[in-house]
Amino acid sequence: MPAAGFPENFASSLANLAELLRQGGWFIAPIVICWFISVTVIIWKALDLRRRQVIPPDLARQLQSVAALLQQKQFPALQAQLQADPSPLARICLAAISPRHQNAASAARAAETTAREEISRLERGIPVLEIIFTIAPMLGLIGTVSGLVRIFSSLGTSSGQNAEQARQIALGIAEAMNTTIAGLVVAVPALIAQVLYSRQLERLALRLATLVTDFLDTCWSPSQPD
């Protein structure tokens, strides 16, 4: 059966990973911390930037038919629905229809300000990925240099310690290679996630702008009742 040897293979993989971390030297620790932070942020933003959470389909359809609600004088019902919805789209639209607005320009400014706040909130975590994919390879490079220093230091010892010299050279090579690999393994997924989430945020921002603009045009249309 395919799963017959899974426990043994899994245990062997864990042992190899532990050996890689052990041979990576001191610089492997901050790389592991970067990896943990990166995975946490990637999972968090995958949930936070779901389109249905930012732009609920039911609310989007409701906003597209807001003209009919205004004609039926159901504007308070729409306000109540927006207040009950926790999505960024609802908060932006709710800011635009506050009773304190006297004209369309005031409503547009409020919507724009709230939209900037919501986009800024959705951006949280993405700069962290950018920092990680920048510093992780640098940490790996520092580990590589540290390993090379160990190698050259061993080469400078007396020839009467051949066994210990060979051991130090092997440890230096392992440290140099393992930290480089670990840094790249952490950096590449963080870079991919940062690019994908940035593009997703851009698409969500454009869709929000379209829906809110149409909503404002409908609410402040001269043909609609106050």
pLDDT score recorded for residue 126: 94
Mean pLDDT along residues 169-179: 69
pLDDT class of 5 with cuts at 50, 70, 90: low
Cα–Cα distance for residue pair 79/169, rounded to 1 Å: 71
Query: DSSP labels for 118-164?
Result: HHHHHHTTHHHHHHHHHHHHHHHHHHHHHHHHHHHHHHTS-TT-HHH
pLDDT class of 60 with cuts at 50, 70, 90: confident
Q: CB-based contacts of 215: which residues, under 8 Å, 6+ apart?
A: 63, 66, 93, 96
Give the residue, 195 or 62, on which the prediction is more confident.
Answer: 195
The answer on pLDDT for 163 being more than 50 is yes
Q: What is the domain partition of the chain in residue ranges?
A: 27-219
Give the residue, 204 or 96, on which the prediction is more confident.
Answer: 204
DSSP 3-state of 31: helix
pLDDT tens digit string along 75-117? 676 777 788 888 898 888 888 877 777 778 888 888 899 999 9
pLDDT score recorded for residue 165: 62
Q: Which two tokens stand for residue 123?
A: 């951006």
The answer on pLDDT for 8 being more than 60 is no
Give burial (CB, 10 Å; 0-12/13-18/19+) of 219.
buried
- Angle formed by the axes of helices 57-64 and 88-96, to 10°? 30
Q: Which two tokens stand for residue 18?
A: 């532990």
